[in-house]
């Protein structure tokens, strides 16, 4: 008799769509909380004059606060509500100029194929609703865009695409995630193209980028690029307590689950307004209780918080720590030590503990604020950006998992 082969894949109903939480970077959660106002504000700017300052925007936040998710929502709204053409590029994909050009040509090809087709046709995920495709959209026939090297004629091709979009009453929205990864020279070049098309040619091109906050010290501080200097900055903040509670409770209830108030209190306090942590805690509680139909109790919440902290440490704190300079590390370690007794120590005490001269204090304070590991306290004070950072860093220093660089000897 043949032995029955064991089954390895989960039941189809158990995957993706049926999960209430999405603990992965860049995944849009079933319940996106606390971002309506921000998304509306950016959309209102994009709908204004593309030549004005609201035509070019950037979302700033430390890792895991939801920049990519907000960017994706704006893209979807632009496509679905306005029929705009969306070109989305990531700063980590390679040469941003070449990648933007490829995106332009991809959209151009879809249009060329669809030219003359019935109105409101769906082209590879783009809804060309408003005005449809019939409104005499034409590109310069003599130019074969594919013959150019990627990037060479980006300004011309992007301008033509924006012109064609305008003929149908639409706009081109260019988005650039992970913008901090772009070299300054490329950011300047891209900025000058966008500015030329939107301001000089007055074409319908608008822009939204997303980046880690330290670009206020790098790209956005560039004196040579007025595009970069004038980007309208939007901060993506931590979630408030009621938003966090809703972000945990709603997806559970939507998926046929239940959570008690005590368990919700424990989870909300551990999340501390951090969206990625919210997804981790939510997901681990849901699984611990056994899914739909099983109420989530205090013990599930406690276990989930411990597991979620471990993930947060491995995927967020440890990589951020590794990206800091030696002196930043000493400063942060000193802050974590002092924070055990006083959760918001004075910057001057932190410098003393770290052996850093007072004149450098404001520079390190600022750099750690930008790294997202530290938040400003009241006058002259600082605190750790998430309550789990202190115990993690102190514990890791004690076990030797994390090494704090020695202060250099005076005169070296
Ligand atoms: N407003 C929100 N409500 C609930 N969950 C959210 C919200 N925003 C983001 N998330 C969740 O948080 C996680 C991180 O989101 P996202 O990847 O957009 O962050 P990010 O800021 O782009 O991070 P990174 O800088 O690493 O790219 C995802 O699991 C996402 O589902
Ligand atoms: Mg992201």
Measuring from atom 18 of ligand 1, which residue has the nearest CA? 66
145 and 267 in a single domain? The answer is: no
Instruction: Let me know: does 355 contact 407? Beta carbons within 8 Å.
Output: yes
Pairing mode, strands 122-123 and 205-211: unpaired
Residue 188 within a domain: yes
State whether 376 and 291 are in the same domain: no
Which of 100, 56, 60 has its CA nearest to residue 190? Answer: 100
185 and 256 together in one domain: no
Q: Evaluate whether residue 53 is within a structural domain.
A: yes
- Residue 351 vs residues 359, 396, 404: alpha-carbon distances, Å: 10, 21, 15
Residue 207's nearest CA partner among 221, 194, 223, 226 is 194
Q: Whose CA is nearest to atom 27 of ligand 1?
A: 63
What pLDDT is attached to residue 14? 56
| Alpha carbon distance, N-terminus to C-terminus of the chain | 78
Closest by CA position to 367, among listed 352, 353, 350, 379? 350
168 domain-assigned: yes
Residue 87 lies in a domain: yes
Output DSSP code: residue 29.
P
Confidence at residue 337, expressed as pLDDT on a 0 to 100 scale:
94
User: Do 229 and 258 have their domain in common?
Assistant: no
- Ligand 1 pocket test, pick from 23, 178, 279 with the greatest ligand atom count within 8 Å of Cβ, gives 279
pLDDT of residue 15: 53
Spacing, Cα 356 to ligand 2 middle (Å): 33
| Ligand 1 and 278: CB distance under 6 A | yes
Q: Which residues contact 85 (CB under 8 A, 6 or more apart)?
A: 107, 126, 128, 161, 165, 170, 171, 172, 173
Residues 211, 213, 219, CA angle at the centre, nearest 5°?
Answer: 70
Q: Is the CB of 279 under 6 A from ligand 1?
A: yes
Q: What is the CATH number of the domain that holds 128?
A: 3.40.50.300
CATH of the domain at 374: 1.10.10.10
Looking at residue 410, what is its pLDDT? 60
pLDDT along the chain (412 residues), means of 10: 82 67 90 96 95 93 94 96 95 92 88 54 35 39 52 87 91 96 94 95 96 88 94 96 98 95 97 96 96 93 96 92 90 94 89 86 81 83 90 95 81 49
The residue nearest atom 13 of ligand 1, judged by CA position, is 276
State the Cα–Cα distance between residues 127 and 299, nearest whole angstrom.
46
Nearest partner of 354 among 324, 371, 333, 323, judged by Cα: 333
Residue 358: inside a domain, yes or no? Answer: yes
Closest CA to 238 of 42, 397, 387, 392: 387
Decide if 12 contacts 159 (C-beta within 8 A): no
**412: in domain:** no
What is the pTM (predicted TM-score) of this model? 0.85
- What pLDDT was estimated at residue 372? 81
CB 158 within 8 A of CB 205: yes
Helical axes 154-167 vs 96-114, angle rounded to 10°: 40
Last residue of a domain, one of 320, 346, 370: 320
Verify that 63 and 183 share a domain, yes or no: yes
Do 269 and 160 lie in a common domain?
Answer: no
The answer on 274 and 335 residing in a single domain is: no
Looking at residue 123, what is its pLDDT?
A: 33
Tokens read off for 284: 């681990």
Domain CATH number, residue 264: 1.10.8.60
Q: How many CA atoms lie within 13 A of 9 on its CB side?
A: 5
For residue 6, being part of any structural domain is answered with: no
CB neighbours (10 Å) of residue 218?
A: 16
User: Tokens 């895991």 label which residue?
Assistant: 64
62: Cα separation from own chain's centroid: 8
> Which residue, by CA, sits nearest to atom 9 of ligand 1?
66
**CB of 233 closer than 8 Å to CB of 214:** no
Domain count, the chain: 3
- Do both 138 and 244 map to the same domain? no
- 243 and 361 within one domain: no
Domain C-terminal end among 270, 295, 320: 320
Of 294, 320, 346, which marks where a domain is finished? Answer: 320
Q: Tell me, yes or no, whether 186 and 95 share the same domain.
A: yes
Q: Which atom of ligand 1 is nearest to the CA of 25?
A: 17
246 and 231 in one domain?
A: no
Answer for the pair 56, 227: CB distance below 8 angstroms, yes or no. Answer: yes
Q: Measured from the CB, is residue 238 less than 6 Å from ligand 1? A: no
Residue 4 belongs to some domain of the structure: no
Judgement on whether residues 282 and 262 belong to the same structural domain of the protein: yes
Which of 276, 283, 372, 385 maximizes ligand 1 atoms within 8 Å of its Cβ, making it the mutation to test the pocket? 276
The parent domain of residue 376 ranges over 324-399
């Amino acid at each position: 008799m043949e032995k029955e082969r064991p089954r390895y894949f989960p039941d189809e109903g158990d995957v993706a769509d049926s999960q209430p939480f999405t603990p992965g970077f860049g995944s849009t959660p079933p319940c996106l909380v606390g971002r309506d106002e921000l998304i509306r504000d950016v959309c209102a700017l994009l709908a204004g004059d593309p030549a004005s300052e609201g035509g070019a925007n950037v979302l700033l936040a430390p890792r895991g606060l939801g920049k990519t998710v907000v960017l994706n929502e704006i893209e979807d709204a632009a496509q679905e509500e306005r029929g705009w053409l969306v070109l989305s590029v990531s700063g980590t994909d390679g040469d941003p100029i070449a990648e933007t050009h490829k995106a332009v040509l991809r959209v151009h090809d879809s249009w060329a194929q669809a030219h003359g087709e019935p109105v409101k046709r769906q082209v590879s995920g783009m809804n060309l609703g408003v005005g449809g495709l019939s409104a005499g959209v034409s590109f310069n026939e003599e130019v074969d865009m594919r013959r150019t090297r990627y990037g060479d004629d980006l300004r011309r091709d992007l301008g033509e695409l924006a012109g064609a979009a305008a003929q149908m009453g639409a706009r081109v929205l260019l988005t650039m995630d992970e913008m901090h990864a772009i070299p300054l020279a490329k950011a300047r070049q891209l900025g000058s193209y966008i500015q030329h098309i939107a301001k000089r040619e007055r074409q319908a091109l608008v822009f939204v980028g997303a980046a880690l906050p330290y670009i206020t010290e790098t790209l956005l501080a560039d004196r040579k690029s007025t595009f970069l200097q004038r980007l309208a900055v939007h901060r993506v903040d931590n979630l408030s307590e009621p938003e966090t509670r809703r972000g945990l409770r709603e997806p559970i209830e939507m998926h046929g689950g239940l959570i008690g108030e005590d368990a919700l209190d424990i989870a909300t306090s551990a999340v501390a307004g951090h969206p990625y942590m919210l997804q981790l805690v939510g997901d681990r509680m849901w699984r611990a209780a056994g899914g739909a139909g099983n109420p989530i109790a205090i013990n599930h919440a406690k276990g989930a918080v411990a597991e979620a902290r471990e993930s947060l440490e491995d995927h967020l704190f440890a990589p951020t720590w590794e990206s800091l300079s030696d002196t930043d590390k000493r400063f942060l370690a000193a802050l974590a030590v002092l924070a055990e007794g006083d959760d918001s120590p004075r910057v001057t005490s932190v410098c003393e503990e770290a052996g850093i001269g007072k004149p450098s204090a404001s520079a390190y304070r600022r750099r750690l604020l930008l790294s997202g590991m530290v938040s400003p306290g009241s006058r002259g004070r600082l605190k750790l950006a998430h309550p789990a950072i202190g115990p993690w860093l102190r514990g890791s220093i004690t076990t030797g998992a994390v090494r704090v660089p020695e202060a250099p000897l005076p005169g070296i």
